[in-house]
Chain A
Amino acid sequence: MDIKGRKITLHDMSLRDGMHPKRHQLTVEQMKSVAMALDDAGMPLIEITHGDGLGGASINYGFARHSDQEYLKAVVPHLKRSKVSVLSLPGIGTLDDLKMAVDCGASTVRIATHCTEADVSQQHIGISVKLGVDTVGFLMMAHMIEPDALVKQAKLMEGYGANCIYVTDSAGHMLPGDVTARIAAVRAALDSKTELGFHAHHNLGMSIANSIAAVEAGANRIDASVAGLGAGAGNTPMEVLVTVLHQLGADTGVDLYKIMDVAEDLIIPLMDQPIRIDRDSLILGYAGVYSSFLLFAKRAADRYGLSSRDILVEMGRRKTVGGQEDMIEDVALDMARERNEGKRKTA
């Protein structure tokens, strides 16, 4: 599908996925200033919640500095054009959380499940449709199943009432061919009125190429994050994506210079560490592991004197899915015990 002249809806992740590398500690002021700058740059959609979505505040995923409600209430009234979206994973977020977010002015709700478990989204998609908001089904870790299997799951979400379906590369494992195959298959199977979206992580350095592949195959909503602020090696860097899409002649409505400035002047200074493809993020992509495990693995590695790469590879071997952060300490404890037993044997 030719990109020239096509309208692409960009969706900024820096204030949601970007909460992962910030350990969910963004202040209300930081959220507000970034969101207002994005608004000024013409960003159509901005996602705001805890990194793990509504209700993510927990020991398991980390407590955010403020509640989802506090962030939403602080940001929404200051936006002139940008709309606000929220993410929710059934099993973590609840219907009450969804209602709260919509009350606070969120107009897009994204219901996320593992790519094989779409039927868990029925209740939450149903409520979002009833609340009259833009309702998105978000199929995570989509590299783990073949395109035809993914189509079945996408159709379930569409059947529950979602008006947009996302193929989500949570592990940053896909290559452009994988994206093309999945988006094209889903595009062919769904109603032509149903929008398609794509969400990438940059763990293998493929996020821009993958996003362009998604657009070419029929996706028209693309997630990206200013300066890449997101889990793992970050999301698709927004300012780069905007530049490439402009070069290809797509219509994003986002101001090129202004989005570059948000990245340079606002996001880079608030990073706790550079968002780059370090050896751990590279392993996330290679082993197909959920990107937000990164910092948890690093912390467990420090605490138990292990290699974070070994922990992440073991998480992949155990076929963990998004949300299983608790397994990281569990795995680390197993590995530390095995190491100690090994030492005792050789001693």
Chain B
Amino acid sequence: MKIKVAIVGSGNIGTDLLYKAKRSTLIEPVWMVGIDPNSDGLKRARDMGLKTTHEGVDGLVPHMEADQIKIVFDATSAYVHAENSRKVNEKGALMIDLTPAAIGPFCVPPVNLMDHVGKNEQNVNMVSCGAQATVPMVAAVSRVQPLEYAEIVATVASKSIGPGTRQNIDEFTRTTSSAVQKVGGAKRGKAIIIINPAEPPIMMRDTVHCLTETEPRKDEIIESVHAMLKEIQKYVPGYQLKNGPVFDGRRVSTFMEVEGLGDYLPKYAGNLDIMTAAALRTAEMFAENMLSGKSQPARAA
């Protein structure tokens, strides 16, 4: 038996997520929700046998109980997320938020997903592509010893960054630096995003610089970084450590590249792939818990 899920948002992210969810042994996508009847994502979903609606989340809600939808992904926009989440929670389903709305706690799977599962959260937020690619490496160093500061630089292909992110570039820097602190465990955090238009498009590149409070414990950090790498590669096989950890005084730097699976999005869009992969991973861990009977999402009061 699989946990039944719905995907709200039939754009690039939602459609890529659909491809990944179809392969899951723990969840089964049943509904795909869009607002444009002619969208490619809805067409593909219909071809795969999903139920679809182009009437937004309101087209889904009346069917959630009958179709036993327990988890809903929101891949729309921050502006409508809160309303979508309220409606879905009312039907007793968990909301996984891929928008920058961040009304629920940040979820970076290899760092804090199991805490959220344990607390039976009803809305978790996937932060940003930059955070999914870098915060685990901040945490890999901070679990060894305290960090005075951490800084991440995410460089992405111009073609992989949509108009939403471009118009709200500060949302990226703000939420990502916040996650570097809250989830990564650094006392202070900074996030930088660089958009590169090279053709052919570059793979997503990420650099994580940490400043340890005391002399870095090199061997433990190296071991921790490699252990974290393995955790991430479980759900993002194209996540690679290109260089590092490099030690320079109290600075510890790691250099990563993220290649996507190329499901619906092109392979260079590792930044989008890591979001959908992390969201799927999140759904699967919650689903596993639901299937084991440990928890059912609580109905909102």
Partners in one complex: yes
**Residues of chain A having any CB pair with chain B under 8 Å:** 58-60, 90-92, 94-95, 114, 116-117, 119-120, 122-124, 318-321, 323-324, 326-327, 329-330, 333-334
Cross-chain contact B243 with A326 (CB below 8 angstroms): no
Nearest Cβ in chain A — how far from B191, in angstroms? 9
Nearest Cβ in chain B — how far from A7, in angstroms? 35
- With a cutoff of 8 Å between Cβ atoms, the chain B residues found around residue A334 in the complex are 242-243
Cross-chain contact B196 with A321 (CB below 8 angstroms): yes
Nearest Cβ in chain A — how far from B126, in angstroms? 20
The 10 closest A-B pairs by CB, nearest first: A319-B198, A326-B207, A59-B209, A333-B243, A91-B193, A116-B197, A330-B255, A323-B194, A90-B169, A326-B153
CB-defined A-B contacts under 8 Å, sample of 15:
A58-B192, A59-B209, A90-B170, A91-B193, A91-B195, A94-B174, A114-B195, A117-B197, A123-B169, A318-B202, A326-B255, A327-B155, A329-B246, A329-B255, A333-B244
How many Å lie between the Cα of A114 and that of B202 in the bound state?
A: 15
How many Å lie between the Cα of A324 and that of B211 in the bound state?
A: 20
Given contacts A60-B207, A120-B166, contact A94 B253 (CB under 8 A): no
Please give me the residue from chain A that is nearest to B165 by CB atom.
Answer: A120
- With a cutoff of 8 Å between Cβ atoms, the chain A residues found around residue B170 in the complex are 90, 94-95, 123
How many Å lie between the Cα of A160 and that of B77 in the bound state?
A: 22
**Residues of chain B having any CB pair with chain A under 8 Å:** 149, 151, 153, 155, 158, 163, 166-170, 172-174, 190, 192-198, 202, 205, 207, 209, 211, 242-244, 246, 251, 253, 255
How many Å lie between the Cα of A327 and that of B149 in the bound state?
A: 20
Please give me the residue from chain A that is nearest to B191 by CB atom.
Answer: A91
Cross-chain contact B209 with A60 (CB below 8 angstroms): yes
Cross-chain contact B255 with A333 (CB below 8 angstroms): yes
Please give me the residue from chain A that is nearest to B150 by CB atom.
Answer: A59
- With a cutoff of 8 Å between Cβ atoms, the chain A residues found around residue B174 in the complex are 94
Nearest Cβ in chain A — how far from B245, in angstroms? 11
Cross-chain contact B195 with A58 (CB below 8 angstroms): no
How many Å lie between the Cα of A126 and that of B217 in the bound state?
A: 46
- With a cutoff of 8 Å between Cβ atoms, the chain B residues found around residue A319 in the complex are 196, 198, 202
How many Å lie between the Cα of A124 and that of B173 in the bound state?
A: 13
How many Å lie between the Cα of A318 and that of B157 in the bound state?
A: 13
- With a cutoff of 8 Å between Cβ atoms, the chain A residues found around residue B193 in the complex are 91
How many Å lie between the Cα of A9 and that of B4 in the bound state?
A: 65
How many Å lie between the Cα of A95 and that of B171 in the bound state?
A: 10
Please give me the residue from chain B that is nearest to A144 by CB atom.
Answer: B197
Please give me the residue from chain B that is nearest to A336 by CB atom.
Answer: B243
Additional 19 contacts, C-beta under 8 A, given A58-B151, A122-B167, A330-B255: A59-B149, A59-B151, A59-B253, A60-B153, A60-B192, A90-B169, A91-B172, A94-B170, A94-B173, A114-B196, A120-B195, A318-B198, A318-B202, A321-B195, A321-B197, A326-B207, A329-B255, A330-B207, A330-B243
Nearest Cβ in chain B — how far from A99, in angstroms? 12
Given contacts A91-B173, A120-B166, contact A333 B246 (CB under 8 A): yes
- With a cutoff of 8 Å between Cβ atoms, the chain B residues found around residue A58 in the complex are 151, 190, 192, 209
How many Å lie between the Cα of A23 and that of B51 in the bound state?
A: 59
Cross-chain contact B194 with A324 (CB below 8 angstroms): yes
Nearest Cβ in chain B — how far from A101, in angstroms? 15
Please give me the residue from chain B that is nearest to A145 by CB atom.
Answer: B197
Nearest Cβ in chain A — how far from B81, in angstroms? 19
Cross-chain contact A324 with B196 (CB below 8 angstroms): yes
- With a cutoff of 8 Å between Cβ atoms, the chain A residues found around residue B158 in the complex are 116-117
- With a cutoff of 8 Å between Cβ atoms, the chain A residues found around residue B155 in the complex are 324, 326-327
Cross-chain contact A59 with B197 (CB below 8 angstroms): no
Please give me the residue from chain B that is nearest to A330 by CB atom.
Answer: B255
How many Å lie between the Cα of A119 and that of B163 in the bound state?
A: 8
How many Å lie between the Cα of A326 and that of B158 in the bound state?
A: 18
- With a cutoff of 8 Å between Cβ atoms, the chain B residues found around residue A117 in the complex are 158, 166, 195, 197
Given contacts A123-B167, A327-B205, A329-B253, contact A91 B198 (CB under 8 A): no
